[in-house]
Amino acid sequence: MAQVGADTSPLVQPTQSTRFWIDDGSVVFRAGDVLYKVHLSHLKQLSPVVRGIFEIPDSMTGAKQGSEENPIILEFFSAVVFDDFLSWIYRAEWQPIENIQDVEIRERMLVNLLQVARLWDIAEAVAHTKHHLDLMYLRPSRRLELARMYTLYDWIDDAVWKLVTGKLEWLTNEDLARLGVKVYSIIASAKEGLWYETRLSCRVPPEVSLANPAWVSDEHNHRVCAEVFNEIWWTRIAKKMMDPVKPLHFCEVAAEVKSTVFQVQRAGTWKKMEDACKDDMVAMIERENFFSEKALIYAASRAVEKYFSSL
């Protein structure tokens, strides 16, 4: 992370930061071509990683670490990243990052802060940035990209859900580049699985058990309930599930069944599904006993997580 006392023989002479060259600072860092003089005690208090860097005695490195002559070189941070981090440390923006109106700048600052916070293990800053990035409604591909880069695995499920239930044609070239071939193929497979299950469920409705339920009285013909349910499922529910513009999602099916009247006319008389039988069916669908969209998308999310962990 930090290369202490490196002989960099820099091609470019570093310049002092115009914002964070603090006269009574106690340590000098170099990020890119910029030197920063800041308060070490403050950084040590926040970061166990920074404390670790300074546990190596100067006598072992042969030079005083973090002096102007021998700055600590931050190999993994650009000057912009370190600037944004210090802006947060010193509350230098004079509006908090999360209130910055320009969303591109706000996102850049939060992500830069997250980058330093992750590498330097500053839990407070990780929580802060996650919370405010969460409120920014980033595109799902961007959330997955950040989840991969900064191990924010609790962001995976929501992003994968949106990608699987959204349309592939909504994805821009930038989205595709962020996702990469592997994640895109996981999303596409889940979409294909979902499409297959949708068609299957339209054709084969959730089964009305013909074993007489406890509430069935002698005069109630439960076969009629099953017959009516299957017919209305095909003509009303399945039709909505197959709608090309605004298809009914699996998670909306229970509510749709609940609000649909299950009755058909036969030779001038109405045949109706008993209310208690319909309620039982709604409860069964709510328990996701016939198909779980959530389970399929959850499996896709875990596949994405497994892939991220393997990188």
Q: Identify each DSSP E strand in the chain by its residue range.
A: 2-3, 15-21, 27-31, 34-38, 72-74, 263-266, 269-272
User: Which residues neighbour 83 within 8 Å (Cβ) at sequence distance 6 or greater?
Assistant: 17, 19, 20, 31, 34, 112
Q: Which is nearer to Zn ion, 22 or 216 (CB)?
A: 216
In the list 222, 236, 249, 302, the residue contacting Zn ion (rule: CB under 5 A) is 222
Establish if 228 lies at the interface with Zn ion (CB under 5 A).
Answer: no
Q: Which is nearer to Zn ion, 252 or 279 (CB)?
A: 279
- CA atoms of 193 and 298, how far apart (whole Å): 13
Establish if 225 lies at the interface with Zn ion (CB under 5 A).
Answer: yes
Stretch that binds Zn ion, among 123-131, 150-158, 219-227, 301-309 (CB under 5 A): 219-227
Question: What separation, in Å, do the N-terminal and C-terminal C-alpha atoms of the chain show?
Answer: 19
- CA atoms of 5 and 255, how far apart (whole Å): 66
Q: Which is nearer to Zn ion, 225 or 253 (CB)?
A: 225
User: Which residues neighbour 38 within 8 Å (Cβ) at sequence distance 6 or greater?
Assistant: 20, 22, 25, 26, 27, 29, 86, 89
Q: Which is nearer to Zn ion, 147 or 226 (CB)?
A: 226
Least CB distance to Zn ion at residue 202 (A): 22
Establish if 281 lies at the interface with Zn ion (CB under 5 A).
Answer: no
Q: Which DSSP state fits 154?
A: G
Least CB distance to Zn ion at residue 210 (A): 9
Q: Which is nearer to Zn ion, 75 or 279 (CB)?
A: 279
Contact characters 75-114, Zn ion, x per CB under 5 A = ----------------------------------------
**AA letter at 52:** G
- CA atoms of 311 and 150, how far apart (whole Å): 12
Least CB distance to Zn ion at residue 238 (A): 21
Establish if 277 lies at the interface with Zn ion (CB under 5 A).
Answer: yes
Establish if 274 lies at the interface with Zn ion (CB under 5 A).
Answer: yes
- CA atoms of 123 and 129, how far apart (whole Å): 10
Stretch that binds Zn ion, among 52-60, 69-77, 261-269, 277-285 (CB under 5 A): 277-285
- CA atoms of 70 and 22, how far apart (whole Å): 17
- CA atoms of 246 and 45, how far apart (whole Å): 53
Long-range contacts of the stretch 193-196 (C-beta < 8 A, 24+) = 193/296, 194/164, 194/165, 194/293, 194/296, 194/297
Least CB distance to Zn ion at residue 301 (A): 38
Stretch that binds Zn ion, among 184-192, 220-228, 250-258, 295-303 (CB under 5 A): 220-228
What is the size of the binding site for Zn ion (CB under 5 A)?
4
Stretch that binds Zn ion, among 13-21, 37-45, 109-117, 216-224 (CB under 5 A): 216-224
Contacts with Zn ion by CB under 5 A lie at 222, 225, 274, 277
